A and B are shown apart, each in its own frame.
Chain A
Amino acid sequence: MTTEVSPPLPLPNELTSPFWDGAAQGQLVIQQCNACGHLQHAPEPICSACLSFDLGSTAVSGKGTVYTFCIPTQAFHPYFADKLPFVLAVVELDDQPGLKMITNIVDIDPDSVRVGDRVEVTFNPLGEGFMLPVFRPIAQ
């Protein structure tokens, strides 16, 4: 079978489109409260820190630390069948304590990844113009 399998693509909405629009321009964009400056991911209709509905977004540093990860070896979606094994991770961003996102760690042997590794954002094409913010080791 050589049928091209569609990737799991996002359906951007008012809350999520800044993230995807930013990624398409090579920036990691996170929701930020205009009232108190709190960053939150995933985006929500209200700021969980101050309850403001006045929410914007901002480009963050794109640097962070591997909080945890696993190495999927079974594909639960056909798009990943030829991508195993890969690194599914949670990265804590430098920009605010506890600000974390689900991501992939790339450009490294999966078995070499360690909790606490320093990483920086990079962008992989996902399909239909979407770019996926993923992370790679910061060169020492």
Chain B
Amino acid sequence: MSKKNRVAIVGVGYSDVSRGTGYTLDKLTAQASVAAMDDAGIKPVDIDGVVVHSFPHQFVSSTHTAAMLGIPDLAFYSGNVDGAAYSVAAMHAIAAIESGSAETVLTLRTVHKDGAAGGAAMLAGGARAGIPGNMQFSMPYGSFTGSHWAGMYMTRHMAKYGSTEEDFGSFAIAQRKFAVANPTESFFHEELTMEDYLNSRYIAKPLHLLDCDYPVDSSSALIFTTEERARDMKQKPVFFDSWANGTTKEADFSLVEEMTHSSPFMAADRMWSRTDLKPKDVHTAGLYDGFSFIAMQWLEALGFCEEGGSGAFVRSGATSATGSLPTNTDGGACNVGRRHGANFFIEVTRQLRGTAGDRALPNEPKVGVVSNAVGGFAACALLTAD
């Protein structure tokens, strides 16, 4: 389909990634930025926008990032700590380019391994005087990390739809197969059995350890530009066909109106309303897996299966390499480590432009969907290649 001001992804890159790089957030950010510029075949002077998403307690400044890289002047910049992780940076950059505010924008998500354990870290860091704000209505009850709301989302789905721990395990098993085929990026190299999954310890029953993404130090970078400029660049461009955010009325993840029908449904409905493409047109998916149930909620929200039916969909093999919707073909964040959404934009881009190497899907995908987050806020996008 034709659109004015179509935005293209022209470069992708990662920093070194490990459980303990010993690198500062700035160094990781700079590494990923250089990798993405190399991939795109451009230099800092070609970039006129920088958007970074980071944790409040691990803040990475967009203007300082530009200065580190020697970018002389920014037409657009935004340093975010709120909302749906990497996708916030992506959405700001798309909006900036579509509006003409900037032409070529570097987008980033940088995390240190312990970044998500913010609540516990705050207390360990000396909040002895008491818990401020609305966290005083969760922490005294023992609710500290994402694992706690995640376990509650899973219980709700199980009670409402009769889903089982084996359903969630099926997703972890299917995704691990892709990880085994991605040895240079995955931290895990052996396939999982259902026994492995069920025997992995509970963090917050019914949530198992193997439902959780793998905390690492990482920075991920993507460069977006206009269709016109993208045509002259090194890589085959991948385009944003449509994209959308969504939120719930209640912002607290534990208190959203309906856990089985949270922000991914709002984002997905809005995204589909902005395109002529349909779920049946999508060849591959990169669905956020901070916890495995999140990717499964996205399968339902995006209309790839009926609401409540993600377990059966995954067990049918639909998300495998030879299925109708190969999903998380890099192995997902449970295996390649926490990139907070950026890895899905990167992997789907690699699949659509034909640079996925040995992992290139047999269906030669031209349309892919990516997503990020769940609960109070989420975003998704449809990517296409010519």
Residues of A with Cβ closer than 8 Å to B?
6-13, 16, 19, 41-42, 48, 67-74, 76-77, 80, 83, 85-86, 88-90, 98, 100-104, 114-116, 126, 130, 132, 134
Contact = CB atoms under 8 A, between A and B. Distances in A.
Contacts of B151: 70-72, 88
B152 interface: yes
Which residue, of A7, A67, A68, A103, has the highest number of chain B Cβ atoms within 10 A? A68
A67 B157 CA distance: 11
A82 B371 CA distance: 38
Interface string B153-197: 111100110000000000000000000000000000000000000
Interface of B: 117, 119-120, 123, 128-132, 134, 136-145, 147-148, 150-156, 159-160, 201-207, 249, 252, 254-255, 257, 259
Contacts of B128: 6
18 contacts: A9-B130, A9-B140, A10-B140, A11-B132, A11-B136, A69-B152, A70-B154, A71-B204, A72-B147, A74-B204, A76-B119, A76-B142, A76-B145, A77-B120, A77-B144, A90-B254, A104-B142, A134-B141
Nearest to B206: A70
B259 A70 contact: no
Which are the 8 A-B pairs with shortest beta-carbon distances? A11-B130, A70-B151, A10-B136, A115-B159, A76-B144, A71-B205, A68-B156, A42-B134
Contacts of A101: 137, 255
Given A16-B137, A41-B137, A68-B152, 18 more contacts: A6-B128, A8-B123, A10-B131, A10-B140, A11-B129, A11-B132, A12-B130, A19-B137, A69-B155, A76-B147, A77-B120, A77-B144, A85-B205, A88-B143, A102-B137, A102-B138, A115-B159, A134-B141
Contacts of B145: 76
A77 B137 contact: no
A126 B174 CA distance: 44
Contacts of B156: 67-68, 115
A13 B137 CA distance: 12
A8 B138 CA distance: 10
Given A70-B148, A77-B120, A16 B204 contact: no
Contacts of A9: 130-131, 140
Contacts of A68: 152-153, 155-156, 159, 259
A137 B255 CA distance: 21
A10 B131 CA distance: 5
Contacts of B130: 9-12
A85 B204 CA distance: 9
A72 B137 contact: no
A101 B206 CA distance: 20
